[in-house]
């Protein structure tokens, strides 16, 4: 029997297929929402997933959803909170992790958990400063591919400071820095540390404990990972395929 977990994020939607008999992941995919409705994105992703695995849509017995637009999914059987998804997924696949940072496009969620239970939660979903969307804006401004952002950030030196915490004002600041001839990697370094400074209070709010894992699209940015590690003085565990953890947790909760 196959179950699906769907994480409907602000920018991207992840779908995982879980083999309930063999108790393992059989497929995962991530799709950009574009201008499609949530239902359309989910339908296309589910079709792709079931085709790859060689089953029909009808054979997906349970559909579990989570994320910003989870309530838009008409085919859902169960909706799971993001923090519960993360706590469950961590408990199964990263049992040493006590704290997780989910750094997505529009929200940053920090959860302290134990034994699959979220103990405390801190969330920023109101301010785009330091968000994944903000990093995309920065990449565009500096004419860098999003996938190269991390490496270039690591090459940066501490010669520049970005004062603004607001994404809109920071954009202007960056333009001024570029006009002043500052190096892109140095600007990126400053931005990375500014983002880490936004995460830090969330970690403190949950009274974080090691090990700390990081998931979400921004976990692929090694520059941000390093900046957070420097700030908290601890290593982060970044799992392979960090974007699927919400969807994975949803389907695990649904099939428990």
Partner 1 sequence: MTKKIVAGIDMGSRTAKAVVFSENKILGHYIDFAGIDSAFESRRVLEKAVDIAKLPRDCISYIVSTGYGRIIVPFADHNVTEITCHARGAVWLFPNTRTVVDIGGQDCKSIKCDAAGRVQNFIMNEKCAAGTGRWLERVAETLQLPLEEIGSLSLQPVSKPATISSVCAIFTQIDILMLLGAGVHRNDILAGTLDSFSSRVWTLVERVGFEPDFLICGGGAKNIGFVKRLEAKAQAKARVPPEPQIIGALGAALIAQERVC
Q: Indicate which single residue of 106, 141, 183, 229 sits in contact with partner 1 (rule: CB under 8 A).
A: 106
Q: Which CB sits closer to partner 1, 147 or 172?
A: 172
CA distance linking residue 139 with residue 183, whole number of Å: 14
Residues recorded for the chain: 256
Q: Which CB sits closer to partner 1, 142 or 232?
A: 142
* Segment interacting with partner 1, rule: CB under 8 A, options 16-24, 123-131, 184-192, 209-217: 123-131
Task: Give min distance, CB of 248 to partner 1, in A.
Answer: 26
Binding flag, residue 126, partner 1 (CB under 8 A):
yes
- Give the CA radius of gyration of the chain: 19
Q: Which CB sits closer to partner 1, 34 or 54?
A: 34
Binding flag, residue 141, partner 1 (CB under 8 A):
no
Site string for partner 1, 48-87 (x = CB under 8 A): ----------------------------------------
Binding flag, residue 166, partner 1 (CB under 8 A):
yes
Contact assessment for residue 160 and residue 128, using Cβ atoms and an 8 Å cutoff: no
Task: Give min distance, CB of 130 to partner 1, in A.
Answer: 11
Q: Indicate which single residue of 148, 165, 204, 207 sits in contact with partner 1 (rule: CB under 8 A).
A: 165
* Segment interacting with partner 1, rule: CB under 8 A, options 52-60, 171-179, 185-193, 194-202: 171-179
DSSP 219: G
- According to DSSP, the residues that pair with 2 across neighbouring strands are 19, 60
Site string for partner 1, 200-219 (x = CB under 8 A): --------------------
Site residues for partner 1 per CB under 8 A: 10, 35, 106, 126-128, 131, 133-134, 137, 164-169, 172, 176, 179
């Amino acid at each position: 029997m196959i179950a699906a977990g769907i994480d409907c994020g602000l920018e991207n939607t992840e779908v995982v297929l879980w083999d309930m008999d063999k108790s393992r992941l059989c497929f995962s995919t991530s799709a950009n929402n574009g201008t499609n409705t949530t239902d359309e994105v989910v339908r296309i992703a589910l079709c792709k997933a079931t085709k790859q695995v060689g089953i029909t849509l009808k054979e997906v017995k349970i559909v579990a959803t989570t994320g910003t637009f989870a309530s838009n999914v008409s085919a859902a059987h169960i909706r799971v909170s993001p923090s519960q998804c993360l706590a469950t997924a961590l408990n199964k696949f990263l049992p040493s992790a006590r704290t997780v940072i989910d750094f997505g496009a529009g929200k940053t969620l920090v959860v302290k958990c134990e034994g699959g239970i979220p103990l405390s939660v801190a969330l920023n979903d109101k301010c785009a400063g330091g968000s994944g969307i903000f990093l995309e804006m920065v990449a565009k401004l500096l004419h860098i591919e999003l996938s190269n952002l991390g490496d270039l950030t690591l090459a940066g030196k501490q010669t520049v400071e970005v004062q603004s915490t607001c994404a809109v004002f920071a954009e202007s600041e960056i333009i001024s820095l570029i006009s002043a001839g500052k190096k892109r990697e140095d600007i990126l370094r400053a931005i990375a540390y500014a983002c880490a400074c936004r995460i830090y209070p969330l970690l403190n709010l949950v009274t974080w404990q090691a090990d700390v894992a990081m998931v979400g699209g921004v976990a692929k940015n090694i520059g941000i990972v390093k900046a957070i590690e420097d700030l908290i003085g601890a290593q982060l565990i970044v799992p392979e395929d960090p974007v699927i953890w919400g969807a994975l947790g949803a389907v695990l909760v649904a099939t428990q």
